[in-house]
Amino acid sequence: MGAEHTAFDVRAIREDFPILAQTVHGKPLVYLDNAATTQKPRSVIEAIDHFYAHDNSNIHRGLHALSERATRSYEDARSKVQRFINAAESAEIVFTRGTTEGINLVAGSYGRSHIGPGDEIVISAMEHHSNIVPWQILCEEKGARLRVAPINDAGEIVWKEYEELLGPRTRFVSVVHLSNALGTVNPVRRMIEAAHARNIPVLLDGAQAMAHMQVDVQDLDCDFYAFSSHKMYGPTGTGVLYGKRRLLEEMPPYQGGGDMISSVTFEKTTYNRLPYKFEAGTPHIAGVVGLGAAIDYLNALDRPAAAAYEHSLMVHAIETLSSVPGVRLIGTAREKSSVVSFALEGIHPHNVGSVLDQEGIAVRAGHHCTQPLMRRFGVPATTRVSPSFYNTLEEIEAVAKGLYKVIEMFR
């Protein structure tokens, strides 16, 4: 099966990503660490460059031409995000630094004002540290309890146990849409339905899902959805928290400062309307403009074809890598996307990563910020291959070849 047999023209796509055309240690770069961060198409790089070269100014303040242009570009990006995830209105789109800040915002604002002693927050056993630690901090502060929905050996949430965890003290559910360490796609719609039947709001950690799936927040009916621009072909330092208006309205501010106020006296401050109430201080304006360009790029792609192509890369990775002696796949869920994690018997993933690096191959070797999950599978770390639509079947095969080199060196 060759890439040319798919409807997706990967050669043309690769031309859009200047970073891919380089050698590393004298070998053509094979970039398969997309779950950590994706590469940027030229249009995103140019949008940021254009912003600084022509429009740079602070937003929402100046009456001058540059400030108006910068404000327009920033707010246009908000509308693009709104349409991209099908939010009901752009006031529900809060710009953040990334997924981590989005989750901290919800824990720090909604959580601090709604969670009390003895209350329970439900997460799952496959969460990223970003979706564990903010809730632990909140639980410690409030005397609340963190409950963890277990997973089976394939890396799927055990439905019955999840449902049983939703009890009279449950006040919030926060789960990952697509796991960065396993590739599991959680049955989030059903999980949300079950929580809503008990009036429990749900946050989805969409850090990984946004690059691979078409997310419709109204269709999912999630209450919050957090994601990062840099994992969906946009720049670092920018992200989005979607929240339903009703909830955002009743939440206190997360940070105080410029832009989030309506008026300030030493006696009392009134807050700005949504979404500005949650955007204190000068934001990463160029980053948001870059995110807008990334959305334009994704919208111009044939996304179903891109998703089908990515699926074929994942299937090829599963088949090719699992045929290497000693490979144990970690994460074999039936619903799975774009992440292939594995352990290689008797060889530490760091050694795997270093040898592959010498071959010009970039993969992730580590705990992927999911230490409790690694413990669940009895491994200190895994090696993770995370393809994007700009990767090729040949690149996946290069990883398998690299693994044979690793085995030769370390066994």
Ligand X SMILES: Cc1ncc(COP(=O)(O)O)c(C=O)c1O
For residues 209 and 177, the answer to whether their CB atoms sit within 8 Å is: yes
For ligand X, which residue of 80, 128, 244, 316 counts as binding (CB under 6 A)?
Answer: 128
Site for ligand X (CB under 6 A): which residue of 13, 93, 149, 207?
207
Marked catalytic residue, from 308, 315, 369, 379: 369
Q: Given its phi and psi angles, is residue 143 left (phi above 0), alpha (psi -120 to 50 degrees) or beta?
A: left
DSSP-assigned letter for residue 20 = G
Q: Determine the Cα–Cα distance for residues 286 and 291; give it in Å rounded to an integer.
A: 9
| Contact residue for ligand X among 38, 109, 180, 184 (CB under 6 A) | 180
- Residue 374: helix, strand or coil by DSSP? helix
In terms of Cβ atoms closer than 10 Å to its own Cβ (0-12, 13-18, 19+), residue 5 is exposed
Give the DSSP per-residue string, 192-253.
HHHHHTTT--EEEE-TTHHHHS---HHHHT-SEEEEEGGGGTS-TT-EEEEE-HHHHHHSPP
Give the shortest CB-153-to-ligand X separation in angstroms.
Answer: 20
Q: Which is nearer to ligand X, 226 or 406 (CB)?
A: 226
In this complex, which beta carbon is closest to ligand X, that of residue 38 or of residue 180?
Answer: 180
Interface with ligand X in residues 225-284 (CB under 6 A): 228
Segment contacting ligand X (CB under 6 A): 40-48, 126-134, 185-193, 324-332?
126-134
Would you count residue 176 as binding ligand X (CB under 6 A)?
yes
Active site residue 369: yes
Residue 338 sits in the site that holds ligand X (CB under 6 A): no
Using the 8-state DSSP alphabet, how is residue 147 labeled? E
Among the residue ranges 80-88, 146-154, 202-210, 318-326, the one whose residues contact ligand X (CB under 6 A): 202-210
Determine, following the binding rule CB under 6 A, whether residue 104 of this chain makes contact with ligand X.
Answer: no
CB of 80 or CB of 97, closer to ligand X: 97
Interface residue with ligand X among 41, 98, 331, 366 (CB under 6 A) is 98
Give the pair of three-digit tokens for residue 33.
Answer: 């660490």
Residue 208 is a binding residue for ligand X (CB under 6 A): yes
Q: Interface mask (CB under 6 A) for ligand X, residues 358-377, using x and -?
A: -----------x--------
Sort strands 269-271 and 93-96 into parallel, antiparallel or unpaired.
unpaired
The number of residues that bind ligand X (CB under 6 A) is 13
Residue in 73, 99, 170, 338 binding ligand X, rule: CB under 6 A: 99
Cα–Cα separations (whole angstroms), residue 294 to 20, 61, 86, 281, 360: 17, 26, 16, 24, 26
286-304 burial, b at 16+ Cβ within 10 Å, e below that, comes to: bbbbbbbbbbbbbeebeee
342 and 332 Cβ atoms separated by less than 8 Å? no
- Piece of the chain touching ligand X by CB under 6 A; list 41-49, 204-212, 278-286, 295-303: 204-212
Min. distance of Cβ 209 from ligand X in angstroms? 8
Of 290 and 360, which CB lies nearer to ligand X in the complex structure? 290
Q: Are the CB atoms for 24 and 322 separated by under 8 Å?
A: no
Nearest to 104 by CA among 193, 242, 226: 226
Least Å distance between CB 230 and ligand X?
A: 6
- Residue 391 contacts ligand X per CB under 6 A: no
State how beta strands 364-366 and 382-385 pair: antiparallel
Q: What are phi and psi of 137, to 5 degrees?
A: -60, -45
130 near ligand X (CB under 6 A): yes
Question: Minimum CB separation from ligand X for residue 323, in Å?
Answer: 27
Residue whose CB is less far from ligand X, 179 or 320 = 179
Question: Is 205 a binder of ligand X (CB under 6 A)?
Answer: yes
Binding site for ligand X (CB under 6 A): 98-100, 128, 130-131, 176, 180, 205, 207-208, 228, 369
Active-site amino acid positions = 369
